[in-house]
Amino acid sequence: MYKLLDLFCGAGGLSFGFEESKEFHITLASDIMPDAISTYQSNYPNTNTLCCDICELSKSILKKYDSDSVDLILGGPPCQSFSTSGKRLLDDPRGKLFQEYLRLIKLIKPKVFIFENVIGLLSMDKGKIFNTIISSFKDEGYNVTYRVLNAVDFGIPQNRKRVIIVGHTSEDFNFPRRTHLNNHLSLLDAIGDLPHLNNHSYNKYICEPQNYFQRYARIGSNELKYHDIPNHGESLLKVIMAIPEGGSASDLPDEIKPKSGFKNSYSRLWWNKPSSTITRNFGAPSSARCIHPVADRALTTREGARIQSFPDRYIFCGSRTSKNLQIGNAVPPILSKRLVKSVINCLRNRK
């Protein structure tokens, strides 16, 4: 069995497929957010967790948790941790989290690591930051393979592009084959069995599962959790009610049109298209497109979790805002499942 360390573990989306495969033993998961650690503990009760800053992970602490020598490291520093200082990334205090991540790569020397981040990383400071990151990994003796993956191409009902960097000591790393190129799942496929909930909460499904995704989501769950409506004020409700399916604030009459917001703020989703990218603020209509296609409200916590491909049995801890943040920041669990075989093949073919 391979040993795995999950850094910046969050709610555990990236751990999901590796733990489920039974091929990996997660020795330790760490994060600085207490609610995220509580969520992780609730779903991976047999895994050691640490709520701490990454700079506190010393060799002695890692050894205590049998994590000073592992086969695989998961996780990438949050995108906010990267400065716009180009080649000074390794010296700039604003690049601290990446510096600490690199320190642990040097210290542990895993056979493989997976570094996940937003695609904006590719263009920061005209690509200088990304090039510095790749060069830093290569300087430690790793072959580096990277690719932009869109979650929707792997059976996740959401357009969500992320850059995945894989450091490895094998000849090559083969990313998983896209499984849903011409048959993307829609929002209706993902949440069509959940109550619409215009003005109340409800903990029962409205029908039997209508497709394989809903069957997957409901394994081990007989009752809905976290499916209660966000609290929208009267003036906000007027705005929401005037927005058609797939529409936005540009469709509103001037007298109720919000005075601020981005292009995708106050926008409804479509039933028959994949969801837009789920963000950490998907419960707020003023955030990126996150209003239910027909109900006059933003998405519930459960709907956001479904769109991210978390099964309904998954437990989230903290306030509604904290739960939504954990879900919006997560790697979709199904994408994690798709990556497992590629990593195993890479470990077996290592030099």
Q: Which residues are catalytic?
A: 79
Taking the CA atoms of residue 101, residue 106, residue 107 and residue 110 in that order, the dihedral angle to the nearest 10 degrees is 90
Question: CA-CA distances (angstroms) from residue 138 to 66, 90, 132, 141, 144?
Answer: 26, 14, 10, 5, 7
CA distance 121 to 138: 18
Q: Which two tokens stand for residue 292?
A: 């239910």
Torsion-angle region of 86 (φ positive above 0: left; ψ -120 to 50: alpha; else: beta): left
